[in-house]
Each structure stands twice: as C-alpha cells, then as structure tokens.
C-alpha cells in the first residue's frame, strides 16, 4: 500500500507552524504496514493541489491530505476535490444534524458559515469527526483513494486512528502482499555504540528482518521490522528477533512502542505504592514538568525544589553549607545531599538530585560545560554519577532529565 | 525569488524525526523576501530526487536540499547532483585540507570514508561548513540554483545564515522586484478577538500591507508584511503600519521578531537588578524550565518549589493549612499565599504562585478541568487571577505558563 501525504496551508508552507501532522501520520502509516512515497506541503492554492493530486495519484494507492477543510475562504480542499472528481456538493443531512447537536451542546446556533461544513461531495464517504465540525472525506478516484482530513492535530489523529488506519490494515491484510510490521524496544542508560557491541553482528540472527537504532535524549529505540506476505510469519519473525534482543540487552529495555520513561517509572511507583521527590538545579523544573506530564502523577510524585541558587540548596533541601564550600555546587557530594535531603524533607521513598553546568557560561577546567552530577537516593543507598555531556545548553538539560529518569528506573527494577 | 525545499532521508519520510529543518528554512526564506513554492520530503532514492529536481526546477528559481550529504552508502544527494548536472566529482584540495585540520584538532585522522567528503562536483561552489565535515554545495543549472545542505540542523542553519541568505538578499535587492518584507509584533495577555476589536478594520490603514494574527500559548503575534519593489517604500510602509498598531495595542506588545516572553522578562529583571522565585502546583516545573531556558537566568531567577502536594504547599511555601481547608488547594487564596509565601522565603522581589486543575481528573462543578489561579506578588501588591482554560491537560499547563509570564511582564512594565 503506497501512500503519499499532502499538507495544505500557507502557515505550514511559510514555516509558521511545524509540520507535526505529517510526521505523526508517516509514523502511524509505516507501523500499519504502508510504504510512504512522499510528503508534499503546498499553500492554499487550488491549482497546485490539483497538480499535486494528478502527479501523486500515479505512484500512490492512497493520498492523505490534511488542512484546508475549514469554513473560511482560504479553505480550498473540499472544492478542489469536488471538481477533481467531477462531483457536486450536496447537503449531508446526517452531518447537518450532527452540527446542530454539536452547537446546541455548546449553547450556540448553526450559522450559515458553519452549515457549509455539511456540504459534501455526493460520492464521498464521511469519516466522522466526533470532536470538530469538519468531517473527514474519503473518495475513490481512478484506483486511488483520496482522504481529506482536518488540519487540527487532535481531529486528524482521531479520524485517522478510528477510520483510516483500520481500513488500511484490513486492505493490507486482505491483499496478503509483502509488507512490513514493526516492534520497537525502548532502551535507556546505554550508549548506541555499546548497545551495538553487546548485540553483535545483527546479520547473524536477523534473517529477513531489519533492525534500526534510533537514538534520543532518553535512550536508544530498537525498531525490528519483519517483511512477509503472511501475518503469521511476520509475527513469528518479530517474536524470534525480539527474543534474541531481549536475551542480549533486555536489562536495558524499559518498555515497548510509544511508552515514555516517565510513564513507565510512574506506573512502577504506583504499583509499588512508593513516592518520589526531586531537587533540580541546572534542569530547574524540566524533570518535574516531564513527570507531571503523566496523568495521575499526583499519586506518586510529591513535588520538589528548583534550587537554582546556593541559598535554596541549603535552606530548601538541607545541603550542608560546608559541602558547598568544600566541593562546589557542581559536585557528586552536593548531588548526593540534594537527593537524600529532598527525600527526607518530603518523606518520599526516592529522592533525585541534579546539579551541573548547562552552559554556555560557568565552565572550568575541572568541570567544563556539560558536566552534570545526578544522584538517586533510595531507602538502601545514594549513588551519585558524573556525566559529561556536550556544549549545547538545551541538549545538556534534556540529557540530564533522561539520565535521571534512567537511573531511577534502574533503581526500581 | 521562488524557492522550493526538498528534505531527503528515510528517517524524515517515515516520521521518525520531525521536519524542523523545513520549517526553519521556510521561515527564514520568507523573512528574507522569498516566495515559497513547496516543500517535498522524499526517501534516500536517487531516481525520486532526480524527478523531483526536474519538476521543481520548472517553477522555482532556487531549490534547497537538506540531508543525504554524509559519507555512508545511503547518502545520495552529491551523486545525484553530479549526474543531474552532467558533472564529475573531483577532489577539492581546499576542503581536504579543512578535513585534515578538523580531524587533527579532534585528535583523529582522516579515514578513506571521511576523505570522500572532499569529492565535489567540478562546477559546484563550496559553501563552507565550519562545524562539520560535509560542505554545502551550490550549483547553477539551467537558470535554477541548486543548493545542497547537510541535514544536521546546526550545520544547515550555519551555512544558510552565512552563505545562502546573504546571497538571496543580494539577488532580491538587486532585482528590485516586488517582494515582501515583514515585521512581527509580539503581544501577550490579550485574546485574538479582543486584539482584533481594538485594532478595528485593518483595511482602513493597511494600504498595500498585509496583517496576520498568529496565536500561540504565550500570546498573539501580529505579522505585518509590506510588498513593494523599493526597499525604502517597504521600510516606510512597515513603520507606518507598525506605528498605527503600536498606538492601538502597544500596551500589549512585549517584543518583536523571535524574542520569547521569558527572555524579555529576564532582561527586564536584570536591568532592574530585581529577582524572582516561583511556586508551581499544576505546572510543576514547566515555568521554571521555561525561565531557565534563558542563558544567564541565575542572575535574576532564584528558584522555587514544585508544590504538587498539599503538604509541600504548607511546609515549603508557607501556605496556611486553614486556607487549604477553607478554600481548597485550587483557589485564589492559595494562589496568593503561594506567590507571597515563595517571595518571602526566597527574599525575591517578585513571587509567582500557580494552582489549578490541569485534568483529565480532579474537576468539580465549581472548578472544572481547566480552572487555574495565578498570582504575582510584588513589593506593592498581590493580585490573583482566575483563568478558565479547556479540557486538554497539556494545553492547560502550557497556557498557565504563558499567563503567568504575561502577568509578571505587566507587573514589570
């Protein structure tokens, strides 16, 4: 199943907004077994969309468009699709009644402009959008499926998840063609090259499978791909390679698929009925923000201190002033006192302390920019670790958060 | 100057990484006065790149490619460009000596693989890359300029800023063609519709200029565009419209261009020799992370508390237990005590307190999900404000951070 993606809208074309929709769609389509042909971003120009559809329909079995479905004059997608498929717009009574309900629930009336959202090409299938006013549209045109989705990310994702992907999976399975299926193992706390060394020569066990190393600040993802026409073979092959990898590097694997390290750590704390408090200096809130991104985090995250000044480290976390004087704020001793001090203060099961030189200023010969000390204090122990990251402030802070979560995850294992 | 962007690489095509390069380039090119034609993302497939160049060169005066310039087998860009322009690869002695210096400085030797980076199409101009091993390439082919840049964002940005944009600006100015120039005014603390009401009918003062409203969590950006062949006219028109807007909504404008609200607030505190401390409940670290994204923030940011539990609000910030019992943790009274408590504790000039129901759980009839109270405490006063955001946890937290920064900025004005 060869699929192309077309993003429509001046705001994407001129770089006002980042094209997260295309990346999200591309990843989901790949995981569902599709082969991506290309993404194209164009402005709100009808003739350009027509030409793009003409061209892409030669090489694609499906074209997914996002954007341009709204009710204003610069929303061109529906009109272009109607004329492109030699169709007419007709009122969909079903969607009109959805619009009336939708507006009534919000204490509003359907305006003339809104009502236009119920005008649908007569041969199009409506892909219901439960959280917005513009439905997705599906049209079959000369052996190519045309799918138009709203540009609002949540609405696009909702329709894709509940209508587009199931249809694609069904077609792909029914066709029983060669296709790829994927499993992603999420590792943390181990460098890409070390992971590669432990795994050894992958050609010895991969067979027809593929293996990709995908690094991020929080760890390396291992994406296994199995290619076959048979769903059973794909599944068996994925399990076979997964088993080999788990035997070799399983101790570094914290999860699968789209889980985050903060979610996994939170879930584990919740299962254990344990709690966490944190003292952040150079990351000053980034770890807390990441932990509380997880819904329900108040069950296991008690809070913490952004001890950006020395005074705060002493007063709010209980670091000994003498330790600061003797070893400096960026030291393994201060990291350890931050972790155990915050744990004691919050009466939590675990405490994390982070102190470092994020840059660009503040580096010295002994402790250059990128030096970060992190400690996790548990009922059993408190072991600080020194990290040497690079010279980019933003990256150093991100990597510190990843390393802290990784250390806590190991402690919880 | 009509420009297209081609992103090359399987990792972008299948959505493993977000295409930040295309957005960055598109924004810079637009600001430099170019007209974007389209962005295309393709995999590492030579024939697809050739076809894309064939097609785009008909409608574009410049095509900028990113990615595929590395030293491994899947890096196709240089080979495709060489054959596309009927050229030959030759060793660039200049770049080879750069590579030797580069490696020597890092205690390494030039391997055969690295040395391949000095093979350049004979008619190409090298665009020097001071922070990497792959140079940018510029080729003139049938009235279309072909520019190939590395995919590493920092290297791509460096070469674009120092070589591509200056060349474009020169050509655009020399051509003295109709082009657009932009100024962006950054507002905060006022809704898009209110801003539109205050500004009134823009056609009355815009003349040939354009005005776009670009909302974000931190405020609405007002982008003024002036179109003319004369640089002087563009400048005069931009100033004229800028003056009108500043007269009408200047009190809401915190900066221009790419400044952030955290930077502006930090700069102001630094000028005044004043300091800030914060107490975050529902945002738990997000505001601290945003403030300390600013280099040199330790000069004015003293730190704060992530008081995610009631115990922490009392113990670490000094909120009265009776206030919690009487009004609940999410209340204007607690927000006010968080702001003044943290200010007192850190002995800072200003204190910020944030408490709210981010969701998805925790809402009630009086305080549904999205209810957030924010207070700024100054030497003069402490005024809590109630906000009613929506039902998305992530968005509610982002908007809370934006609102808090906005309130502090008004207090500093």
Residues 6+ apart with CB under 8 A from A155: A129, A131, A132, A134, A149
Residues B312-340: what's their mean pLDDT? 97
CA gyration radius, chain A: 26
Cβ–Cβ below 8 Å for A394 and B293: yes
Residues A51 and A80 in one domain: yes
What pLDDT score does A267 carry?
97
Which of B256, B285, B308 delimits the end of a domain? B256
Mean pLDDT rounded to a whole number for chain B? 93
List the Cα angle A396/A397/A399 in 5-degree steps.
Answer: 65
pLDDT at B310 over 80: yes
Report the pLDDT value the prediction gives residue A366, as an integer from 0 to 100. 93
Same structural domain, B289 and B216: no
Q: What is the pLDDT at residue A110?
A: 85
**Contact flag A293-B360 (C-beta cutoff 8 Å):** no
What mean pLDDT do residues B277-288 have?
Answer: 98
Residues A24 and A52 in one domain: yes
Which among A37, A41, A125, A40 has a CA at the least distance from the CA of A81? Answer: A125
The nearest CA of chain B is from the CA of A223 a distance in Å of: 11
Q: Does A292 touch chain B (CB under 8 A)?
A: yes
Residues B28-78 pLDDT 10s: 999 888 999 999 999 989 999 999 999 999 999 999 999 998 877 778 999
Residue A331's Cβ-count burial label (10 Å; 0-12, 13-18, 19+) is buried
Residues B15 and B148 in one domain: yes
Model pLDDT, residue B369: 93
Range of the domain at B316: 261-412
Q: Do B308 and A302 touch (CB under 8 A)?
A: yes
10 Å CB burial of residue A178 (0-12, 13-18, 19+) is exposed
Pair A245, A286 in one domain = no
Percent of chain B with pLDDT over 70: 100
**pLDDT for residue A62 is more than 80:** yes
Residues 21-50 (B) with a CB less than 8 A from some CB of A? 22-30, 36, 38-43, 48
Check residue A67 and give its pLDDT: 93
Please state which of the ranges A178-182, A401-405, B60-64, B157-161 shows the lowest mean pLDDT. A178-182
Q: Are A265 and A407 in the same domain?
A: yes
- Residues in chain B with CB shorter than 8 Å from the CB of A309 are 298, 302-303, 346
Q: How sure is the predictor about B242, in pLDDT bands with cuts at 50, 70 and 90?
A: very high
ipTM of the complex: 0.85
Is A13's CB within 8 Å of B19's CB? no
User: What's the CA gap between A45 and A122, in Å, rounded?
Assistant: 23
Across B190-206, average pLDDT: 89
Judge if B121 and B208 occupy the same domain: no
String of DSSP letters for A61-96: SEEEEES--SSSTT--HHHHHHHHTT--EEE-HHHH
Give the model's confidence band at B132: pLDDT under 50 very low, under 70 low, under 90 confident, else very high. confident
Q: Give the model confidence (pLDDT) of A221-260 as tens digits.
A: 898 999 888 889 999 999 999 999 999 999 999 999 889 9
- Stretch B85-93: mean pLDDT, rounded? 95
If asked whether residues B171 and B184 sit together in one domain, one would say no
Cβ contacts of A25 on chain B, cutoff 8 Å: 15
CA distance B158 to B164: 10
Q: Are residues B11 and B66 in the same domain?
A: yes
Closest in A29, A289, A312 to B302, CB measured: A312
CB-CB under 8 Å, A20 with B20: no
Provide the number of structural domains found in chain B.
Answer: 3
CATH code where residue B105 lies: 3.40.980.10
A349 and A314 together in one domain: yes
- CA of B122 to nearest chain A CA: how many angstroms apart? 30
Chain B closest-CA separation from residue A77 CA (Å): 16
Q: What is the mean pLDDT of residues B289-293?
A: 97
Chain B contact for A224, CB < 8 A?
Answer: no
Is some CB atom of chain A closer than 8 A to the CB atom of B119? no
% helix / strand / coil in chain A, to the nearest 5? 45, 25, 30
Mean pLDDT is highest, among A393-397, B104-108, B178-182, for A393-397
Query: Between the CA of residue A238 and those of A81, A168, B396, what are the distances in Å?
Result: 40, 21, 40
- Which residue, A279, A365, A392, is CA-closest to B295? A392
Q: Is the pLDDT of residue B5 over 80?
A: yes
Kindly state whether residues B119 and B193 are assigned to the same domain.
no
| Nearest Cα to Cα of residue B274 among B400, B398, B380, B115 | B380
The arithmetic mean of pLDDT across residues A191-202, rounded, is: 88
The pLDDT, as a whole number, for residue A262 is 97
Q: What percent of chain A has pLDDT over 70?
A: 100
Total residues belonging to chain A = 413
* A186, A216 Cβ separation under 8 angstroms: no
Please check whether residues A227 and A122 belong to one and the same domain.
Answer: no
As a whole number, mean pLDDT of residues A141-146 equals: 93
| SS3 at position B37 | strand
Q: Is the pLDDT of residue B231 over 90?
A: no
Nearest to A289 among B26, B286, B298 (CB): B286
Interface probe for A, chosen from B24, B29, B32, B41 (most Cβ of A below 10 Å), is B41
Residue A72: is its pLDDT beyond 80?
A: no
> Measured between alpha carbons, how far is residue A242 from residues A214, A239, A253, A406, B368 in Å?
16, 5, 11, 22, 45
Non-local (6+) Cβ contacts of B203 within 8 A are none
Reported as a pLDDT band with limits 50, 70 and 90, residue A178 is confident
Least confident of A40-54, A106-120, B235-249, B370-384: A106-120
What does the pLDDT read at residue B373? 98
Query: Does pLDDT of A163 surpass 90?
Result: yes
Nearest Cα residue in chain B from A275: B309
Is the CB of B289 less than 8 angstroms away from the CB of A295?
A: no
**Residue (of A79, A70, A6, A4) closest to A43 by Cα position:** A6
At residue A269, does pLDDT exceed 80? yes
Q: Supply the pLDDT for residue B74.
A: 75
- B61: closest CA of chain A, how far (Å): 17
Q: Mean pLDDT throughout B162-175?
A: 90
Which of A284, A283, A291 has the alpha carbon at shortest distance from A261?
A: A291
The mean pLDDT value of chain A amounts to 93
Q: In this complex, do B285 and A304 lie within 8 Å of one another by their Cβ atoms?
A: yes
Query: Are the Cβ atoms of B27 and A39 closer than 8 angstroms?
Result: no
SS3 of residue B217 by DSSP: coil
Exposure on the CB side of residue A189, measured as CA atoms within 13 A: 18
CATH number of the domain within which A194 lies: 3.30.70.2860
User: Which of B175, B198, B216 marks a domain boundary?
Assistant: B175
pLDDT category at A290 given cuts 50, 70, 90 is very high
pTM for this entry: 0.86
pLDDT at B193: 80
pLDDT band at B173 (very low <50, low <70, confident <90, very high): confident
Asked if B181 has any chain A CB less than 8 Å from its own CB, the reply is no
pLDDT greater than 90 at residue A276 = yes
CA distance A12 to chain B (A): 7
Give residue A29's pLDDT.
95
Stretch among A288-292, B118-122, B150-154, B155-159 having the lowest mean pLDDT: B150-154
Q: What CATH number is attached to the domain comprising A317?
A: 3.90.950.20
* Residue that terminates a domain, selected from B256, B280, B299: B256
């Amino acid at each position: 199943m060869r699929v192309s993606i077309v993003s429509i809208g001046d705001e994407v074309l001129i770089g006002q907004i980042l094209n997260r929709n295309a990346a999200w769609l591309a990843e989901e389509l790949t995981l569902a077994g599709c082969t991506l042909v290309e993404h194209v971003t164009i402005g709100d120009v009808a003739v350009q969309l027509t030409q793009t559809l003409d061209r892409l329909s030669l090489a694609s079995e499906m074209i997914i468009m996002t954007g341009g479905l709204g009710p204003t004059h610069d929303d061109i997608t529906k009109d272009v699709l109607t004329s492109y498929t030699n169709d007419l717009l007709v009122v969909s009574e079903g969607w009109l009644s959805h619009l009336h309900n939708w507006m009534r629930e919000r204490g509003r009336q359907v305006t003339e402009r809104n009502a236009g959202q119920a005008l649908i090409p007569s041969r199009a299938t409506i892909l219901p959008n439960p959280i917005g006013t513009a439905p997705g549209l599906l049209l079959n045109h000369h052996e190519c499926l045309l799918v138009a989705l709203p540009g609002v990310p949540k609405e696009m994702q909702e329709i894709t998840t509940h209508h587009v992907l199931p249809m694609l999976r069904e077609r792909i399975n029914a066709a029983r063609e060669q296709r790829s299926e994927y499993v992603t193992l999420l590792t943390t706390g181990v460098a890409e090259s070390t992971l590669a060394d432990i795994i050894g020569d992958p050609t010895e066990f991969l067979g027809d499978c593929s293996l990709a190393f995908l690094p991020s600040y929080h760890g390396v993802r291992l994406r296994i791909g199995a290619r076959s026409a048979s769903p059973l073979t794909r599944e068996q092959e994925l399990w076979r390679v997964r088993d080999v990898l788990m035997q070799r590097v399983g101790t570094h694997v914290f999860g699968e698929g789209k889980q985050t390290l903060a979610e996994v750590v939170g879930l584990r704390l919740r299962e254990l009925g344990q709690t966490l408090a944190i003292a952040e200096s150079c990351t000053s809130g980034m770890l807390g923000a990441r932990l509380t991104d997880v819904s329900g985090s108040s069950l296991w995250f008690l809070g913490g201190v952004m001890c950006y000044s020395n005074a705060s480290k002493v007063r709010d976390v209980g670091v000994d002033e003498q330790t600061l004087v003797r070893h400096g704020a960026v030291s393994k001793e201060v990291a350890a006192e931050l972790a155990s001090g915050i744990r004691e203060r919050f009466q939590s099961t675990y405490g994390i302390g982070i102190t470092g030189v994020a840059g660009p200023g503040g580096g010295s010969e002994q402790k250059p920019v990128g030096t970060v000390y992190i400690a996790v204090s548990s009922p059993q122990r408190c072991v600080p670790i020194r990290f040497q990251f690079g010279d980019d402030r933003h990256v150093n802070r991100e990597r510190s958060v990843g390393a802290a979560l990784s250390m806590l995850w190991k402690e919880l294992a």
